[in-house]
Amino acid sequence: MKLAYCLVGAIFLFPASASAQPVFDSHVHLWDGEKSIGEYEAQVKGTGLTIAGFGGMWFGGPNQALAGNPGDIRARNDGLIALAKKHPNMVPIATVHPYDGTAALDELQRVAGLGVKLLKIHPHTQKFDPADSRVLALVKRAGELGVAVVMDNANIVPGGDSEKLFNLALQAPKTKFVFAHMGGLNFRFWNILKMARTAEGLFGDNIYFDISAMVTLAAGSPIEEEFVWTMRNVGIEHILIGSDYPQFSLGQTLAAFDKLDLSETEKTQIRHDNAKALFGLKP
């Protein structure tokens, strides 16, 4: 059975409180495969939550996905897909390297055919320029295949990356993007979206964000009010929650998130409803 069917019902996490709210954790690194899944689930359970779904990716940390070795990337994607079949509560996030050209496009089509709906690429870790034409070709093809593209947006590359990612999304309006960490400490840039949406024919409204890592820094800080203001300017309906495990825990992330001055309706959208709408999943 293709993994698309495994996504159904895989997006809920239920806090063990009386006012339990479903949560989709969109950003989990599985550095050690099944061992990481076990450790992640144990950590979530230890904080009073019961895990029922998460988005898992294999690369990051000690696992590299550099150009020039598409066979290794393919094998690791297969390992991720096998884990998702074994753990139907896991939403698989595959990867390729844009500079592998045709091999990357072929691998994207292959994993899409197996039901994968999310692709993660990382300009800093994978050492590529988001403005390269090969990146544009890859993300356009992803859109054609119905695959959303997750890209790191922590702005830890010299000169930052938000401007390049914005222009990439403008050039691929049929592709849905999730920019992780919402710009890091340069999150202010993304307020431009409020203005961009007023320009007729410019912006396809295809940009989403996860606020993993950044929410733990912003909550309770001098920038918290401006961070919330930015969230509303980019559109609450375009924001996802993610833990960025193992660097941050889901419990830590939700504790910070709950401090933000957002309405319960807004929090429900970010915890769960936006992921449901973006990925076309059923409750």
* From 66-70, 146-150, 222-226, the region with the lowest mean pLDDT: 66-70
**What percent of the chain has pLDDT above 70?**
90
pLDDT value for 61: 80
What pTM value is reported for the model? 0.90
pLDDT of residue 64: 86
58 CB contacts (<8 Å, ≥6 apart)?
30, 31, 33, 76, 77, 79, 80, 95
Question: 2 or 124, which is more confident?
Answer: 124
pLDDT band at 280 (very low <50, low <70, confident <90, very high): low
pLDDT in tens, 163-198: 999 999 999 999 999 999 999 999 999 999 999 988
Tokens 């996490």 correspond to what residue? Answer: 13
Mean pLDDT of the 262-269 span: 96
- For position 279, what pLDDT does the model report? 76
The pLDDT confidence band at residue 17, using thresholds 50, 70 and 90, is: very low
In this predicted structure, the answer to whether residue 137 has a pLDDT above a threshold of 50 is: yes
Query: How much is the pLDDT for 197?
Result: 87
Range 12-45 burial, b when 16+ CB lie within 10 A, else e: bbebeeeeebbbbbbbbbbbebeebbeebbebbe
Band the pLDDT of 277: cuts 50, 70, 90. confident
Q: Residue 223 is part of a domain; what is its CATH number?
A: 3.20.20.140
Q: What is the pLDDT of residue 181?
A: 97
Q: What are the pLDDT digits (tens) for 54-92?
A: 999 998 888 889 999 999 999 999 999 999 999 988 999
What is the pLDDT averaged over residues 100-126? Answer: 96
Percentages helix, strand, coil for the chain (3-state, rounded to 5) are: 45, 15, 40
Number of domains in the chain: 1
The rounded distance, in Å, linking the Cα atoms of 176 and 150 is 9
Q: Where are the alpha helices (DSSP H) in the chain?
A: 3-6, 34-46, 70-86, 102-113, 133-144, 162-171, 192-196, 214-218, 224-234, 250-257, 264-268, 274-279
Q: Which of 131, 196, 143 is nearest to 172 (CA)?
A: 143
Domain span holding position 39: 3-279
What share of the chain in percent tops pLDDT 90?
75
Structure tokens that stand for 100 in this block: 């592998």
